[in-house]
Structure 1
Amino acid sequence: MSEKKKRSLMLINVTHAEESRVAIVTEGVLETFEIETFDHRSTKGNIYKGKIETVHVGLQACFVDIGDERAGFLPLDEVNFKIHPARGDQSRGRIEHHLQRNQELLVQVVRDAYGSKPPTLSTYFSLPGRYLVLTPHDSSAGISRKLDDKQREKLRKTLDSLPTPEGFGLIVRTAGATATKAELQRDLKYLTRLWEKIEAAAQLRAPKLIYQERSLVIRAIRDLYTPEIDEILVDDEETWREIQQFFEIVLPHKKKTVHFYQGERPLFNKHNLEEQIEYIFRRSVPLESGGALVFDTTEALTSVDVNSGRMRHEGHIEDTALKANLEAAAEIGRQLRLRDLGGLVVIDFIDMRQSKNVRQVEKAMKEALKKDKARYDITRISRLGLMEISRQRLNPNKTSLRYTDCPTCDGTGSIKTVEAAALGVLRRLQTRVVKGDLERIEVVVPQEVAEYVLNAKRRELARWEERFDTRIVIHARAGMKRDEMEVLTEVRSKSSEHRPVVAAPVHSEIMAAIEEEQEDEDATGAGSSEAAGAEGSEAPKKKRRRRRRRRKKSVLTSEASEGADAAEGNEAEEVTESPVAEEIEAGADEGAGAEGSEAPKKKRRRRRRRKKSASNGAEVEAGGDGQAEVEAAKQAPVAPLAAVSALDADAEQGPHPRP
């Protein structure tokens, strides 16, 4: 009994102008999925008139301005020497011998921009049709590798009978295996006329878009449609008419398979595709047996980890591992097509001990990749249980068309803790504050970080403010990233930078303090003088001056002092009421009394200088005992002129050493 044929459908969803989607479903299982958005339209296959911006000798490549945001990358191995031969007598094989700066040339995009990489350009042109691919300026011919030897031999004879233009090459696509010679000739004629129009438009000035590839819908029908597809459903009437016209030219006998879908329920929902499509963009894909596939994409490669998960362990553990790996191999081949993963893919299968089981999983993986239209290379499972697959990327990354990086974590998938973010703020704050040149610094951080810093690190902030004389202000702002911060600083002016810690008082403050101190000393001295007068002359106290005067000569003994006291009554009428004389005599009398009497206790007194009028012409010192000493000086006799002169001379010369 023959196996029942599986029903296959092509579903086209273009109800929204922002997005176009094409899916191929076999028995309810999504096998192929293509998507294109209005702002991320593929440029692969477009032909431009470009202008060389720079020629990199080290890279052996050049960058070409094609009028896009990024300049295209043209490597040496994509330069057709038949179109761009070496200049003059220079040898071939060096890009600077074939191309030069500001040169205009025709280029075709062979790979879309991906991530930080610019689009890749080529001067080997190819125009794809339904059955054939025309290669101008390249006379090589080829047949799809997916066809068996018998089909390849039949198509090779057909190619030799086609009227191929001189200097052109032809490649027969997989769909050409069932095409007649007339269909191949019609396809060749269409592609030849298309190239003639491109060459005529190439006379325009660079940079200029010369030829643009067809829309996603037409490309999908041209490249993905096979006789195994039973029906094509389109949910947009305008697109349905466009597809009808295309089938009339290319596949008139298949026109009846195209239908316009008018149901109320969305087309993809009706066939349960939305959930399957969502798994394309997820990291983990569940398996029917309970296991799971985990995809992780990096800049260098894509890793696929096979997890047994919640699989039921039936029998030996080796049998369970084999069952999980076989199911994973089939799903990995499907996910590679749906996600259009390019570059290096590393698969980590569950470890198996028996070599026959390993060979069985390798065979299942190769079988799953046979449906893939992209070129690939596969290795055997290594001793570590790893399999490597190198696959060609056909279209832009589908994830970038529907998703953007997370604004909170910048696509890393994790953010800092509040504590780590707060410590980072403190370290940066301390680094800036310790310079000591800031008057004020303000830091703006997220709400949770600000609360942690102000509550848990308040002492550190206060200590920095006091030590570096800086005002620190923490602001909270909602909506900021966890590790984001803004710093606003106010630098201290030069005048305030040299401000002393202790400021010296002004002159008026100093004089006020001296006068207040002097008043206190005068009041104390007055009380001491009254106590000394009560005791009389029997036991005068010896006074010690702050500024020592020259001691009296030996001739000025106590007898002289007594004689002077006796003569006081006779000479009182001749005393001149001169304040200078009174003060000098008072000082002399005190000095004599100090030497002549034995004082049991010395008392230290402070004196002040008084400036006299210019007519006196000298500065003298008066006792610090206030009003009591002034009254005593008035009662003392006037000293002779000679004694006054001697005292003045001694005062000018300064104190003499003690005998």
Structure 2
Amino acid sequence: MKQLFIHCSQNVTQSALLEDGRLTEFSVERMEGTSLIGNLYKGRVVNVLPGMQAAFVDIGLSKNAFLYVDDALHPHLDKQPKEKPAISDLLKPGDELLVQIMKEPLGGKGARVTTHFSIPGRWLVYMPSADYIGISKKIEQESERSRLKGLAEAIRIEGEGVILRTNAEGESREALEEDFNTLRQAWNNIIERSKQADAPSELHRDSGLVERMVRDVITPDTEQLIIDDEVSLKEAKAYLRQTAPALEEKVRLYSESQPLFDKYGIKEQLDRAFQPRIWLQSGGYLVWEQTEALTVIDVNTGKYTGSIDLEETVFRTNMEAADEVARLLRLRDVGGIIIVDFIDMETEEHRHQIAQRLELTIKRDRTKCQVVGWTRLGLMELTRKKARENAMNFFYETCASCKGKGKIYVR
């Protein structure tokens, strides 16, 4: 059972997704500065770095964007040169080009951009020059995959690319074609604007948080969408009325005096989930340490002593920890390399089951996440794509005294 809650205040919009009563996704967006992911710009190359195979592009933000050579080549691998060219052969200072933000500015780094353009809709993602068809891996039935591929071939023009999203499963040709044509027209509008615009300038901005969540999360198995703001409610209903009318009845306004996130226990779950030590229901716990590119999670039995033998106690703790790790990676929106130090297990079968459990649970994640496997030291390694700033950075600042170490200097 999925429930989506959207809380709107004067300066911030927050969304929370609950699955079977447990918080699994949390997003925040400031009113004055919406997400930059997916925005398209006409930029100007300001510097080319052959040693890094990259270029810096002025797109009008405070820091120049970073364009890697792979993101400057044709999006279809078969249409790329057999040997990767030097970035200086592709670009030079002063060149103007269209780019799209794929990773927001994080820390002291500027945004990462690409020329592999994509515009998401409710049922599909339109890629104007990718020249291939992709289908969500979460659509597993082969007959449905074949049907969707046939429909995509019929509605696209040669050279265009399209990815059929999970939501497209079971949808009619008419719905897919309407979505495709809308996105194609949006791209054509971008091209027309680029001809008149001076670099640097913004050409297209992706939808705000409310529309993105309705577009990407609301499906027939969603029980309800509850919003505490009338303007955002109308926005959500208008989008569903246009794309999925049958789902509009799932949207309702929250008007009680008690804050929305307090009423449904979301604030309490958030407070627990972002602690450095997270307790498991069994009595075990996780210790969570996070840096910019690496996250380390340590699993401990804690208060859980089991009732059979040590190996069974360890295995059950690790299985519960695997579920919680997968949930918290989504909720915290962790990116980069993740190392999980599960409690040592004696049997290879138990290690295999832990890996399988992780692979199964991360399938729910809308962000690309991969279970790499056990290292030689017995640690579990995962990777997860990072595109946006951590949601909790909106609410917390690094302590000026301890600089984030969690310690106070005593003379």
TM-score, normalised to structure 2's length?
Answer: 0.94
Q: Which has the higher helix share?
A: 1
In structure 1, distance between residues paired with 2:124 and 2:294: 33
The yes-or-no answer on 1:9 pairing with 2:3 is yes
Structure 2 equivalent of residue 323 of structure 1: 316
Structure 2 equivalent of residue 56 of structure 1: 49
Supply the AA of the counterpart residue of 2:34: R
Structure 2 equivalent of residue 102 of structure 1: 94
Structure 2 equivalent of residue 120 of structure 1: 112
In structure 1, distance between residues paired with 2:115 and 2:348: 47
- Residues 231 and 258 of structure 1 are in contact (CA less than 8 Å); yes or no, is this contact kept in structure 2? yes
Match of 2:389, SS?
coil
Supply the AA of the counterpart residue of 1:77: D
Structure 2 equivalent of residue 381 of structure 1: 374
Structure 1 equivalent of residue 219 of structure 2: 226
Match of 2:262, SS?
helix
In structure 1, distance between residues paired with 2:328 and 2:306: 26
TM-score, normalised to structure 1's length?
Answer: 0.59
Supply the AA of the counterpart residue of 2:110: P
Structure 2 equivalent of residue 437 of structure 1: none
1:206-285 correspondence runs (5 A): 206-285=199-278
Match of 2:162, SS?
strand
Supply the AA of the counterpart residue of 1:191: L
Percent identity of equivalent pairs: 33
Paired residues in the alignment total 403
- Residues 401 and 409 of structure 2 are in contact (CA less than 8 Å); yes or no, is this contact kept in structure 1? no
In structure 2, distance between residues paired with 1:415 and 1:221: 44
- Residues 28 and 272 of structure 1 are in contact (CA less than 8 Å); yes or no, is this contact kept in structure 2? no
What is the CA-CA distance between 1:280 and the residue it aligns to? 3.1
CA RMSD of aligned residues (A): 1.8
1:160-239 correspondence runs (5 A): 160-162=153-155, 164-203=156-195, 204-239=197-232
Match of 2:343, SS?
coil
In structure 2, distance between residues paired with 1:349 and 1:82: 39
- Residues 74 and 130 of structure 2 are in contact (CA less than 8 Å); yes or no, is this contact kept in structure 1? no
The yes-or-no answer on 1:144 pairing with 2:136 is yes
Shift of the 40–294 alpha-carbon distance from structure 1 to 2, 3 Å rule, reads farther
- Residues 109 and 119 of structure 1 are in contact (CA less than 8 Å); yes or no, is this contact kept in structure 2? yes
Match of 1:106, SS?
strand
Match of 1:222, SS?
helix
Supply the AA of the counterpart residue of 2:109: K
- Residues 144 and 170 of structure 2 are in contact (CA less than 8 Å); yes or no, is this contact kept in structure 1? no
Shift of the 263–70 alpha-carbon distance from structure 1 to 2, 3 Å rule, reads same
- Residues 374 and 394 of structure 1 are in contact (CA less than 8 Å); yes or no, is this contact kept in structure 2? no
What is the CA-CA distance between 1:121 and the residue it aligns to? 0.5
Supply the AA of the counterpart residue of 1:46: N
What is the CA-CA distance between 1:414 and the residue it aligns to? 2.6
Supply the AA of the counterpart residue of 2:366: K
Q: Which runs of 5+ in 1 are unaligned?
A: 1-6, 84-90, 419-659
In structure 1, distance between residues paired with 2:58 and 2:280: 47
Supply the AA of the counterpart residue of 1:242: E
Which structure would you say has the larger RCO, counting Cα contacts within 8 Å and 6 or more residues apart?
A: 2
The yes-or-no answer on 1:369 pairing with 2:386 is no
Superposed CA deviations along residues 396-420 of structure 1, whole A, max 9, x for unmatched, are 21232221110112223234431xx
- Residues 8 and 231 of structure 1 are in contact (CA less than 8 Å); yes or no, is this contact kept in structure 2? yes
What is the CA-CA distance between 1:80 and the residue it aligns to? 3.4
Highest Rg: 1 or 2?
1
| Correspondent of 1:343 among 336, 341, 346 | 336
Match of 1:318, SS?
helix
Shift of the 356–231 alpha-carbon distance from structure 1 to 2, 3 Å rule, reads same
| Correspondent of 1:308 among 288, 301, 305 | 301
Superposed CA deviations along residues 374-431 of structure 1, whole A, max 9, x for unmatched, are 222213334533100011124321232221110112223234431xxxxxxxxxxxxx
Q: Which has the higher strand share?
A: 2
- Residues 92 and 98 of structure 1 are in contact (CA less than 8 Å); yes or no, is this contact kept in structure 2? no
